Amino acid sequence: MIAVIVVKVFAYNWDWYTGMMFGAIVSTTDPFMTSTLLRNLGTAKALPLLVEGESLFGDGASYIMFDAFKNVATDLVPFEGSQFAVRMILQILGSPLFGFIMAKFVMFWLSYIFNDGLIEITISLATAYITFYVAQWLGMSGVIAVLMVGLFLDIVNFSPEVEVFLLRFWEMLTYLANTLIFFIVGIVVSRAFQNLALNDFFNIIVLYFAVYIIRLITIVVFSPVLVHIGYGFKWQWASVCVWGSTKGAFCLSLTLMAFQEERLEEGRVREKILLLASGVVVLALLINATTLTKFLELLGLCDVSMAKRMAMYSAVHRVTESSQNTLSMLKIDRFLADANWEIAEQRVHVEDPYKTSTEEVSIEDFSPTARMTKCPDCENNIPYVPSTRERDDMMEEARMRVLKAQKTSYWKQYSSGMLTRQAARTLISIADHLSDLKGKFITVQDVKKYWELKGFFVIALRKLEDWLYNVKVDKLKPSRHPWLTLCYQMVFSASFEYFVYVLILLNIFPIILEFRPEINRDLELQVLNYIFCSCYVLEAVLKALAMRRAYIFNHWNQFDLFIIFMSAVDIYIETQFGLSEINIQMIKIVRVFKMFRLTRALRLVKIMIPKMIEVLNRQISKQLSFGYDIGKGYVIGEEDISKIIDHISDDKSISRELKSILEKNRQEGARALGFLQRDHPEIAISVKTRQAIRAVLNSERDTIHSLMSGGLLDEVEVSKLQQMIEIKMKKLTKFPPTISAPTAEELLQSLPWLSKDAAQIQFFKRVAQLLFYDFGDIIIQANDPPSGIHLIVSGMVKITGRSPDLGSRKVKEKQHHIDYRSCGTILGELNCLTQQPMEVTITSETATQTCLIPIDSLLEAFDVFPEFPSLEYKIWLSLAVKISTTAIMENIIYQGWTYRKICNHLAKAYLVDLEINHKLNIYDGTMDDVVVVYGSCDDLQSLSSYNAPTLISRTTHQIVGTANLTKLLIVPSASAEAKDSSSSELEKKNSLPCLRHAAQRRSSRNTASGMLKTVVSDDSLAGRSQESLKVVEQKLMSSMKLEH
């Protein structure tokens, strides 16, 4: 339609090809400003995606039309429809295909590069240029090809450390390109103004209105179709698509390309295209871009929903709380103590961006704790209950935030080395897909399909295994007859098999010579054929005598019989008709049967089948490894999101519903993952080992960066260390997909609280018991006293019951929960330490094997190994770190931290016991964090209570123990003096008395704290190992000497 206007209305005497080319130029749109504004206003996610997607494919189609009609308009040869059709097919179909191939090639290339920013940036830049120029050279569209590369490549394809640098690099290139294009057009337009006429101004205004009217008509015509597909379509969205379609750099780029085409007439075509196109761009920027915000307000798209207001209110509240904590810590700093804190608090105050002066209702009214309404009967204030529509909107907003948080969790797992690149990309794409489906969450069915064994590889493997192992040798028993026994031993020997293969190879050469007419050796070749056929018959007879009835049921034997039969027919035909004069038809039959002799070489495939099976097994192992990686990342993501649900939604009913959904998905995912590990334990061990290596290497690299930033290493030394780590990371690409499962002894040695102590490991090897359970057997019964620590060696167990009792004086509502655990899990540690009844029932979900450390032997070990750090302290510390990790991840301050970073943060933490009514000063400059891992305490200043597990606020400076036993995990600051003093203090606190007095102290402590009483009699002491008594006697003697 634009071509009709410029050709028929404007007096430029353009032909239709030039008009179509110009129409393609002004049909392009630039959605950057519109989409940015829509996202800042918080409108529906579908609208900016719709605007960007329409511009993306619209600009691609416009470029194809521009290129096609530019070539036609500048071609001196008459127009030919066939050439034009071939060119359009290449650009429409060939360009996306070539872009897809280039994207896959670059993805494969990047998979072998680790954390090399310069190389990865160079690859990304070179890919764009190479793809564009090669596509143009092949007659395709370089723009469409590069577009497809960008669609398939995302940030997950690159190393996590390069992410920020890569984004900033391309943002800078984009900015420079846009600036350069506008600058060049401004210079070129100044030349065109020399031939500017008054009529051109009128044409620009007419063209501006025509472009938007035509766009409006097009959208109205297609709106009935758009309403029923995709995201749907509203009249407000249609208005935004029309008015928000500003023109920008891409339109000016096509304008410059047309202006530089020398085969177009300069004054009549090139300069007019430049004037009209740049004029439309300027009008669109001056009118549409400046009025777009007011236009969206008129449409009601700037109105923020209640769910978004509540989420923003909650976020601002938490930011304010965090700033108060920081101010409280800074007030005790010796250099900042005399700062003007009143001015500081005023300057750091964060306002709610959704609160305006024209609002009649304050944002506080949207808080679920403050929203009240009046009863129509008694006029009392009652809690406001949102309507069904409001609750649905709030639930949908919370669902979108959950999916966004899940993608963040997957990315953090990938950054920390706990998730592979392909697995992270797959999980993020699943979350993106489900974000478009209202009310949908990621379920185990969405990820389970990635480790289900199906497809070509599985079918081919089954067929090959069926061919190779159809008759098992170990099931065949040799006959009692001596001759048959001899045949059995001969047939199933390796020498006989190799002899047959050599015979087949020798037979191939005379078969090939028969097809060479210049070699006149028919008689010799015929004799050789008889000899080889006789050998095949002899082989079949020997196998039949050895295998007897089972011979005919083997597929390879059936194939051998077929070859023998065809050889016999071939010999018969050659004998009867080979030396006589026969007709042409019989000659063809003889040649066909000679061709069948080549099938004898197919028996050599049997040698290749084991290798083919090995290759298929490797591919299936990679698929299972990839599936296990996805499943593990999914389960960890569900666990991470469950900890921050209260921060995602302030509405309690929605929070409970979200927790229920996520907990159900986590349970199903853990169960499916456990069955996968049961069926393929070597796959799971390989994935876990590879992830552990990657996580440790990442930690080593972070340590190297910290040493360099602290001035302890120079750049040369850092480069050498980093190179060593990069080499080790590259070796992970060839990491074996399967690793044999560890034995019970190996798992026992790798217990975190044994710390590779040879004496302790040897002690537990002597006392540990290996237990076996069938499906449904009860391993641990709830409310029973602890029998010891169970270490799962193989299989999967189901854990049902309430959450563990952490010694808090406040009785919390304990919810019934279900969980699944597999190999390597430690069960019963906390209950053995506190000697409280078990809170859960653990049943065997599959055939399970556990290694049991009896509680009596564990208590004995506590007394045998009292040196600091004692065994009891190390078990408590291991549990404290595990509990603190969960408590810290639930805190909003640490939401951006990865699991590896939190573990590094807790690496130097230590435990402190706080008895009841005893005080302790905290956050005195020597502590970064204090976590209550067992028991409870109160803040003496604010009188707020902290019940385990919880992270104590940094505004607290003195606490008092309120439980019989309270254990605090303290994360020290970087001060070396603090670490030294804490170590000496711990050595004093954790020194233990002799065996007899230790038992008496434990008994009295348990009685006072309400724990189960443990009675240690003289008989039980006498029954302990002689080795432990010798150790105690030595310590008694040494202590007596010190006293004297």
Kindly report, residue by residue over 397-415, the tens digit of the pLDDT: 888 888 888 888 888 888 7
Residue 696 has pLDDT above 80, yes or no: yes
Kindly report, residue by residue over 913-935, the tens digit of the pLDDT: 998 889 999 888 788 889 999 99
Q: Cβ–Cβ contacts within 10 Å for residue 243, how many?
A: 20
State how far the alpha carbon of 592 is from the alpha carbons of 283, 563, 589, 634, 935, in Å: 79, 14, 5, 59, 89
Distance CA 121, CA 101 (A): 20
Q: How confident is the model at residue 269 (pLDDT cuts 50, 70, 90)?
A: confident
Kindly report, residue by residue over 946-970, the tens digit of the pLDDT: 998 899 988 888 999 998 889 999 9
Q: Comparing 683 with 45, which gets the higher pLDDT?
A: 683
Angle between helix 681-709 and helix 652-679 axes, rounded to 10 deg: 120
**Tokens 């353009």, residue?**
14
Kindly report, residue by residue over 337-355, the tens digit of the pLDDT: 778 888 888 888 887 776 6
**Tokens 């723009």, residue?**
143
The pLDDT assigned to 986 comes to 41
Distance CA 1008, CA 999 (A): 14
Name residues whose C-beta falls within 8 Å of residue 364's C-beta, 6 or more positions apart in sequence. 313, 370
SS3 1043: helix
Kindly report, residue by residue over 745-786, the tens digit of the pLDDT: 888 888 888 877 888 888 998 899 999 999 889 999 988 999
Q: Per the structure block, which two tokens stand in for 94?
A: 């060939």
Kindly report, residue by residue over 488-517, the tens digit of the pLDDT: 777 777 777 777 778 777 777 777 776 666
The pLDDT assigned to 930 comes to 93
The amino acid that residue 309 corresponds to is R
Distance of CA 918 to the CA centre of its chain: 47
Tell which residue, 900, 882, 881, 411, has the closest CA to residue 695: 900
The pLDDT assigned to 517 comes to 62
The pLDDT assigned to 1020 comes to 34
Of 110-124, 432-446, 589-603, where does the model show the most confidence? 432-446
- Where does 328-474 show beta strands of DSSP type E? 372-374, 381-383
The pLDDT assigned to 114 comes to 66
Dihedral, CA of residue 32, residue 33, residue 39 and residue 43, to nearest 10: -120
- Specify the pairing of strand 778-780 against strand 840-844: antiparallel
Q: Which residues of 209-220 are buried (b: 16+ CB within 10 A; e: fewer)?
A: ebbbebbeeebe
Whether residue 747 contacts residue 793, with contact meaning beta carbons closer than 8 Å, is answered with yes
Whether residue 102 contacts residue 147, with contact meaning beta carbons closer than 8 Å, is answered with no
Angle between helix 117-137 and helix 163-192 axes, rounded to 10 deg: 40
Q: Which residues of 871-894 are buried (b: 16+ CB within 10 A; e: fewer)?
A: bbbbbbbbbbbbbbbebbbbbeeb
Kindly report each contact of residues 451-454 with a partner whose C-beta sits within 8 Å and lies 24 or more positions away, as own/partner.
451/623, 451/624, 451/626, 451/627, 451/628, 451/630, 451/631, 451/676, 452/627, 453/620, 453/623, 453/624
Which phi and psi (to 5°) does residue 372 adopt? -130, 155
Q: How confident is the model at residue 264 (pLDDT cuts 50, 70, 90)?
A: confident
- The mean pLDDT of 21-40, rounded to a whole number, is 80
As beta bridge partners, residue 910 has 970
Alpha helices per DSSP H over 710-816: 715-731, 744-749, 758-767
- Specify the pairing of strand 919-921 against strand 958-961: antiparallel
As beta bridge partners, residue 919 has 960
**Tokens 């004069």, residue?**
581
**What is the residue-averaged pLDDT of the chain?**
77
Q: How confident is the model at residue 76 (pLDDT cuts 50, 70, 90)?
A: low
Whether residue 299 contacts residue 239, with contact meaning beta carbons closer than 8 Å, is answered with yes
Q: Per the structure block, which two tokens stand in for 827?
A: 């069960």
Per cent of the chain over pLDDT 90 is 7
Q: How confident is the model at residue 1028 (pLDDT cuts 50, 70, 90)?
A: very low
SS3 471: coil
**Tokens 């390597």, residue?**
824
* Residue 286, burial from CB neighbour count under 10 angstroms (0-12, 13-18, 19+): exposed
Q: Comparing 414 with 837, which gets the higher pLDDT?
A: 837
State how far the alpha carbon of 194 is from the alpha carbons of 274, 278, 281, 383, in Å: 13, 15, 20, 73
Distance CA 624, CA 457 (A): 12
The sheet carrying 778-780 orders its strands as 778-780, 840-844, 797-802, 816-821
Q: How confident is the model at residue 737 (pLDDT cuts 50, 70, 90)?
A: confident
The 3-state secondary structure of 518-566 reads CCCCHHHHHHHHHHHHHHHHHHHHHHHHHHHHHHHHCHHHHHHHHHHHH
Tell which residue, 19, 17, 25, 23, has the closest CA to residue 7: 19
- Specify the pairing of strand 778-780 against strand 958-961: unpaired
Q: Comparing 379 with 303, which gets the higher pLDDT?
A: 303
Q: Based on C-alpha coordinates, what's the Rg of the chain?
A: 39
* C-alpha dihedral sign at 346, 352, 357, 360: negative
The pLDDT assigned to 385 comes to 63
- For the chain, the straight-line distance linking the first and the last C-alpha, in angstroms and rounded, comes to 109
Tell which residue, 745, 720, 829, has the closest CA to residue 780: 829
Q: How confident is the model at residue 230 (pLDDT cuts 50, 70, 90)?
A: low
Distance CA 874, CA 882 (A): 12
The pLDDT assigned to 32 comes to 77
Q: How confident is the model at residue 305 (pLDDT cuts 50, 70, 90)?
A: low
- The mean pLDDT of 528-537, rounded to a whole number, is 79
Q: Per the structure block, which two tokens stand in for 1015?
A: 């009675």
Distance CA 771, CA 781 (A): 16
Q: With a threshold of 0.85, does the pTM exceed it?
A: no
The amino acid that residue 423 corresponds to is A
Residue 365 has pLDDT above 60, yes or no: no
Kindly report, residue by residue over 786-800, the tens digit of the pLDDT: 999 999 998 889 999
Distance CA 952, CA 891 (A): 10
Q: How confident is the model at residue 364 (pLDDT cuts 50, 70, 90)?
A: very low
Please count the helices (runs of H) and the strands (runs of E) in the chain: 40, 18
Ranking 248-262, 313-327, 675-689, 879-893 by mean pLDDT, the lowest is 313-327
